[in-house]
Every structure is written in C-alpha cells, then in structure tokens.
Structure 1
Amino acid sequence: MTAFYQLATPLPETERNARIYRGELIVFRGFDAMAELTDLLRGHCVSHLGNDPTSAHQSMSSSEIEQAAETLRAAIRKDNQLDPAWRQVLSAISTDLDETYGDGAVIRIQPPCSGAHGERVEPLRAHRDTWGSNLPAQINWWAPLYETTPERTLAIFPGLFTQVVENDSASWDFQEMVKAYRANSSRGYPLLPTATSAPAWEDALVVSLLPGDLLCFSGAHLHASVPNTTNLTRLSFETRTVNRSDMVAGLGAPDIDGSAPFITHQMFRHLPSGQKLGELERK
C-alpha cells in the first residue's frame, strides 16, 4: 500500500507535482512557516469555539457548532494575515507562486458522531475532488490543527487511485449547487459528488499527523472523513491549488471516472493577484 513520504526539506515543485500526479502522498514536516500558520488558525478556533476547541461539543449544541463553523469560515476569509501566511508556507517548500492558483483556506470541524449534525460538520463521504472540479492538476493540502487519532482524522484510499469508482458526478451540476448555496438552501443539493457505494475501510490509509505537518495529495485521490468515534472534536485545515502551467500542458492525475459537466476554473484565484484561473466551461 502507498505510504506517506515525509520531507523536512523543500522539494522542487516540478518534481513534487509529478510525484503527486502519480499518486504519491507527501508530508512536509518541521517547517517554521507551517507552525506559524497553525498557530494563526488555532487562534481563530479559540475565538469561536472556546479555550479548548476540541471539547466545544461539550458546551455547545449541534446547531451552535454549525453556526460557529460558518462564522469561523467567514472570519478566516476576512483575515488579511492568512493569505500571506499560506503563501509563506508554499514558498518555504519551493512552490512557484506566480504559477499557483488557490480556492481559499477552510477549517473543517468534526465533532464526535453523536453531535455531528449539519453540512459544515458532518463527516464527508468518500469522493475525489476532481469529480467536481474536473481539473486533473488540482492538488489538495491538509493539516491537523490539534492532535488526531486514527478514529478522528482523514482517510485516503490509495489503492483506488487508478481504479474506477462508481459515483454520482454525472448528475452533479456545479451551477445548481451554487444556486442552492446562494439561496441558503444548500441542504437541498449536495456540495460535491460522492461515491455511490462506500469503499471498504480496510483499504483506507488513515492519516496520522502532528500539528505543524502538511500533507499534499492529488485531488484525484479518493478520500473521506473517518467517522469520529472519540470524545474530542477534530479540527483541520484544508485548501486546494492548481499550477497553471501544468493545467495548460495537460499534466495532472488520471481522470478515469469523473463525469460532471463543468470545469470549475473560476474557483481558483492567482495567489499573488487574485485573478481567476478562468471561467466556468463545459467539459
């Protein structure tokens, strides 16, 4: 089974991306810039969830946590320190920012299963991000903000990277999802396409990382939330990027089973300038 490659030094982006497109999973560990970003994000968690965010579910109702997740996301979007801090991380691991487009940072909150009710806090079903974006050059970034355990983390299914997985992407329309979200009725439309049958958990590679670590993997990797059976809330950072030159050159992971009708270029913006990667277009 595929393992994590842990790196404590920068890796040239061309090599890194090529490895990710082949299905490798790379963890960057020991970078000061990532530790600083983690501290910044933890500060937001404390502001919205209390002094111990991992115990927020003990003092907040499910609806209160759902609302806190929304306000936390809004606060992150408005924080003018966050984008420079994330760019500093990418620069530290040898990313060409002039070629990099991103879709914005997200803190994901997952209370124990007994309290996870609401689209912002429920466990994510198995999916490939590329089922929704149709961008094979998409790279996903994930990091725990507090310690995780195998029962409270992310799972990746590397053995299915080049195997067809039945999914509902053919009936998933990005424009319809956006309309539902803007109408505050997003519960009536799924946020992303998912596998129609759950993969076997024995095939999963459970992510066991420390705060300050940064995982990158292909958007084409099938992944899911591990149902949180602990008594602590999981908090993690995630975002996605696309290298424009790779996209233009047709580089990226294999697209073997995605059928969504649109390519969502407009989700990604140039990290230094904010310019869109492109407009929505049919696949």
Structure 2
Amino acid sequence: MTAVLSNSTATDDRRRELLFRGDLFVYSATPAATELVGFARELVSDAFGPLDPETAQHDMPVEDFARLLAELKPRFIHHPRCKELVPALIEERGCDPSLTYFDVPRLRTSTSDDYLVSGISYAFHPHRDCWYSAPFNQVNWWIPVFGVVAENVMAFHPRYFDTPVRNGSAAYDYGEWNRTSRRSAAEHVRTDTRVQPRPEEAIDLDPQIRVVPEPGGVLMFSGAHLHSTVPNTSGRTRFSIDFRTVHVGDVRERRGAPNVDARCTGTTLRDFTRCGDLARMPEELAAAYETEAEAAALAGVR
C-alpha cells in the first residue's frame, strides 16, 4: 500500500525509510522553495517576453517553442543561483547538508494536447528512474512553478512498486546516453528516436495516484516508483522543477528501495554534489556502483 503523507514531521531518516517502501510525501511551500520558484518564473518570463508562458504554445510554431526551451532550460540548470537555493531548500526539509548530495535542478515542461511531447519537452511513458541507472536510494523532488491540476501532473502506479515489469533497461547505459543522446534533445521535435527504457508488456495504469501540490510545494518520491507523465489536457503548459538527492550513508550501506526489474548499466552518482560544500560524490562510491551494475546485468539480475 502506498500512503501519501502531507506536511509530515517525520525525520529525514524515517522519511527515507518510508520512501523506500513506496510512500509519497508532499509539503507546503517553504521560503527557499518559494524563492526557487520565483527565480524560475523570472527566467521563464524573460524567455517568453510578452506571451503568457502557460498559453504561449497556442501562439507559437512548435519549432520556435522547442528552440526557446533549448535556450531556457540550460540557463536555469546551470545558473549559480540554483546552487544556492536548492541546498537551502533541502536543508529546510530536514536533511543534513553534510550527508545529503543533490544533482542539478531541471526545469521541465509538459505541453497540452500533444503540442510538443518529444525531445526538449519529453512526455514520459511509465518508467522507473532506476531503469535509467539511478541508484535505488535516490529520492526525487518535484515542484510546480505555476499552478497545476490533475490533468497536467504526474501519475504514480503503486501496484508495480514491488512488482516486476518487463522493460528495455538492459539496453541502457548511462555513460553512453551522456555521450550520444542527452545533448540532442532539442533536435527531436515531432518524434523522439532516442533509445529509452520503456515497458515491454501491457501496463495497467489504474489504480493511479496523482498529487497536485501548490506552486512551490514539494512532492518527494522514490526513484524506484513506476510513474508517468499524465497526458496534458488542461489547455496550459505545465512548468515544474525537479532534482534528486541521495544520503551518503544510504549509498555506502546499500540502503534503498527494492530492485525488482532494472538491468541497466552505469550510474548517475557522479552527477551528485554535497549540499554543504558542493563536493562531488566520492569516486570510489560511484565506481563501486558502476561495477556492481555491470556485474549484475551480466548475471541477468539487473
């Protein structure tokens, strides 16, 4: 059973324990989250000029929209202000900045009515982040930039949290993805030909859970959860921020959600930096996960 806990007072240790069992946590906006969302809105507003970003898709050729996002999203991801606000937000939520590592925050979009669903604004099919070489102790943070509704958020498919799904993760290697596929996202406007792990059997999308936080509210979930982009029928483009965290103690001790069906290779751990001082994840930890993933894949258990 998956529970949704609202404004829980659980400690970070207890919260991670419950996340790794499949529970979801949702929190109201905090000062740092509000500031992060406000900063994102500034960049988005500057990029779209006189157009309303949430409805601009109705006034722009899709190719122009994709080009705009191709400039906007990296600007947000790599802006020094994000390296200040994200650690502050993580600490506000009770995480130890000396033990918690985060990856770069990404500005995501989900356009309405199949306007742009590939490449730079990819509409995700049901998937686990762990099919994409994420560690099983990864915690995902998701934050709406503007108001969202049930018709443009994410869906979780809790029946599959501990139930295997036949999938294409065996063909995915994170290092190869970075070398050949990540940078070409903006080139995929009408279709997306990049190889990405997806279910290879029919998935029952119901029952599903949709969480609708306020702008600046935070949804936290395990990277092992099967989740998908809800087909956006709201008439408005959804803008959101997401990033991931890992606790170095979980990484060292191999604590995390169960691996029921991932067989990918490589690891995303090298993408993570420590909240307190932006130090990189220790190479020996990332290398160990990478080696174990390759060995497990060869043995047919990942």
Q: Deviations over 1:253-282 (max 9, x none)?
A: 011110012233212222322413434523
- Which residue of the partner structure matches residue 160 of structure 2? 160
- Percent identity of equivalent pairs: 27
1:13-24 pair list within 5 angstroms: 13-24=12-23
Q: What does 1:60-139 align with in structure 2 at a 5 Å threshold? A: 60-139=60-139
Q: Offset at 1:198?
A: 5.2
CA contact (8 A) 1:176 1:189 kept: no
Classify the secondary structure of the residue corresponding to 2:109. Answer: strand
One-letter code aligned to 1:194: R
Q: Which amino acid aligns with 1:275?
A: R
Secondary structure in 2 matching 1:242:
strand
Cα distance in structure 2, aligned partners of 1:23 and 1:114: 30
Long gaps (5+) in structure 1: none
Letter of the structure 1 residue corresponding to residue 241 of structure 2: F
Alignment CA distance shift 1:82-1:162 (3 Å): same
Q: Which amino acid aligns with 1:172?
A: Y
2:296 aligns to what?
A: none
Pick which of 167-176 and 136-145 moved more. 167-176
Q: Which residue number in structure 1 is paired with residue 250 of structure 2? A: 246
Aligned counterparts of 2:27 and 2:280: Cα–Cα separation in 1: 28
Structure 2 length as normaliser, TM-score?
0.86
User: Larger deviation: 38-47 or 174-183?
Assistant: 174-183
Summarize the Cα distance change of 1:3–1:49 in structure 2 as closer, same or farther, 3 Å threshold: farther
Greater fraction strand: 1
Q: Which range is displaced more, 110-119 or 255-264? A: 110-119
CA distance in 2, matches of 1:234, 1:198: 27
- What is the Cα deviation at residue 233 of structure 1? 0.7
Q: Deviations over 1:62-107 (max 9, x none)?
A: 1122122221121113321112111111111111111122221011
Aligned residues: 281
Partner of 2:299: none
What letter matches 1:259 in structure 2? R
Contact 1:101–1:277 under 8 Å retained in 2:
no
**Are the equivalent residues in 1 in contact too, given 2:108–2:240 (CA < 8 A)?**
yes
2:193 matches 1:222: no
Q: Alpha-carbon deviation of 1:140?
A: 0.5
In structure 2, relative to structure 1, the CA distance for the partners of 1:87 and 1:159 (3 Å cut) is: same
Q: Secondary structure at the match of 1:205?
A: coil
RMSD over aligned Cα atoms:
2.0
> How far apart, CA to CA, are the structure 2 residues paired with 1:198 and 1:226?
17
Q: What's the counterpart of residue 28 of structure 2?
A: 29
**Counterparts of 1:113 and 1:277, CA distance in 2:** 43
The partner residue of 1:276 within 256, 275, 281 is: 281
- Displacement of 1:136: 0.9
Over 4 Å off, 4+ runs: 185-188
* Residues 93-129 of structure 1, C-alpha deviations (whole Å, 9 max, x = no match): 1111111222210111111133114312131111100
- When normalised by structure 1's length, the TM-score is 0.91
